[in-house]
Structure 1
Amino acid sequence: MNNFKLSRKLSVIVLFFIGVSFSKAQTIPPKTSDFWSKVRYGGGFGLAVGNNFTDITLAPGAIYDFNQYVSLGFGIQGSYIKQRNAFESFIYGPNMIILGNPIPELQLSAELEQLRVNTTFQNGFNSFKDNFWNTGLFLGGGYRTNNVTMGVRYNVLHNSNKNVYSEAWMPFVRVYF
C-alpha cells in the first residue's frame, strides 16, 4: 500500500511539472532587438565597355536609420579599369556616409571615402606604376523618392594632380532597400 501512495505522489508531482513546463500563461516573450529592422542595404554597380576599354565597379553598402531624419552607413568599393596598351588600374577601399533628410524629398549627405589606387601605365616600350591612397570628402544633395535619391556631390578634398576623379563635382544615384 505504501508503494501505491508513493507512486501516486510521484505521478502527481511529475504531472504538475509537465503541466507547468507546457504552460504558456506565464511565459515572458524574449525581448527582440529592432536593430536589423532599421538597416537598409544598397549600393552601386557600374559597367562601361568600349573599344579596348573596360570599367567595372562594385560598391555595396548598408545604412542604419536612427530616425526618419538621420542615417549613418558604411560600404566598400572596388573597381577595375583598363585601357588596352595604355593603363590598368585596381581601386578599392571603404567609405562612410551620413544622410540627413530635413524633408522627405530632400536628402543631404556627407561621405568620406578612402581608396587605394594601384595603376600600371604602359606606353609601348616601358611601363611604370603609380600607387597611392586617395581621400575624398563629398558634400551633396539630392531629390529623394522612396528608396532612390538622385543628386550631385562635391569633393572638397579634390586635387587635380593626384586624384581618382577628374572633376570635383559628380552626379550620383543612391538606392537603399
Structure 2
Amino acid sequence: MKNYNQKTIFTLITLIIFTLGFSQDSNQKSEFWSRVQFGGGLGLAFGNNSTNISVSPSAIYNFNEKVALGAGLQYSYINQKDFYTSHLYGGSIIGLVNPIQEIQLSAELEELRVNTDFNNPSFINDNYWNTALFLGAGYRTNNATIGVRYNVLHNDNNNIYTTAFMPFIRIYF
C-alpha cells in the first residue's frame, strides 16, 4: 500500500471520530439523534519487535428498547519487524436484539481489505478482501455488553482471524 493511501485512510478515520464526538455536544437533540449511541474500540499493542494499532469507531440507532442497527469503520496497522507490515481497513453493519434487558443477541457483517507486505521475497504479498459474519450473544448491563461471537464464514485456510470464536466487550454511550 502506498504511503499517501495510509495517510488518507488515517485522516478519514480521525475526521469521522472527531465529527461523531463533537456532534454530541448540542444540548438540543432531535428525535433521531436522541436514539443514536456511539462507541468503538482503540487498540495498542507492542511486543517483541511487533506493533499493532487499531481504531474502530461505530454508531447504532435504537429503534426501541429491543432492536438497534448500526455501522462501524475499522483500521489496523500490524508490523512484525523484519518480517511483514499489514494494513486492514473496512467496515461493518451490526444488528442488536435484546429479548430481555440482560441479554443481547447480535449479527455483524464485516468486510475488511487486507494488505500485507512481506520483507522476505520468498513470501508472496497478500492483498484480499476478508468477509466475516459474526453471530453473538452476551450479558448486558446499562451501556456495556460482554459476550462471545462466532464467525459462521470462518475458513482456516484464508482468514485474518485464527479462530471462529471471539470474545467481545461492547460499549455504547
1:49 matched to which residue of 2?
A: 46
Note the C-alpha offset of 1:155. 0.2
In 1, distance between residues paired with 2:156 and 2:81?
24
In 2, distance between residues paired with 1:166 and 1:127?
19
Note the C-alpha offset of 1:122. 2.5
Alignment counterpart, residue 157 of structure 1, candidates 116, 139, 153: 153
1:16 matched to which residue of 2?
A: none
1:170 matched to which residue of 2?
A: 166
1:35 matched to which residue of 2?
A: 32
Stretches of structure 2 lacking an aligned partner (at least 5 in a row) = 1-28
2:6 matched to which residue of 1?
A: none
1:69 matched to which residue of 2?
A: 66
Query: What amino acid sits opposite 2:145 in the alignment?
Result: T
Query: What amino acid sits opposite 1:145 in the alignment?
Result: T
2:115 matched to which residue of 1?
A: 118
Query: What amino acid sits opposite 2:117 in the alignment?
Result: T
Q: RMSD across aligned C-alpha pairs, in angstroms?
A: 1.3
Note the C-alpha offset of 1:151. 0.5
Query: What amino acid sits opposite 2:157 in the alignment?
Result: N
CA displacement 1:49-102 (0-9 Å, x = unmatched): 112011111000000000000000001000000111111100000100000001
In 1, distance between residues paired with 2:160 and 2:71?
20
Match of 2:68, SS? strand
In 1, distance between residues paired with 2:127 and 2:162?
17
How many residue pairs align between the two structures? 145
In 2, distance between residues paired with 1:168 and 1:121?
25
Please, what TM-score do these two structures have when normalized by structure 1?
0.79
Match of 1:93, SS? strand
Alignment counterpart, residue 84 of structure 2, candidates 61, 82, 87: 87
1:100 matched to which residue of 2?
A: 97
Q: Is the 8 A contact 1:122 1:128 kept in 2?
A: no
Percent identical among aligned pairs is 61
Q: Is 1:78 the equivalent of 2:75?
A: yes
In 1, distance between residues paired with 2:54 and 2:65?
30
2:18 matched to which residue of 1?
A: none
Please, what TM-score do these two structures have when normalized by structure 2?
0.81
In 1, distance between residues paired with 2:160 and 2:55?
16
Q: Is the 8 A contact 1:82 1:88 kept in 2?
A: yes
Note the C-alpha offset of 1:115. 0.2
Match of 1:35, SS? helix
Q: Is 1:133 the equivalent of 2:129?
A: yes
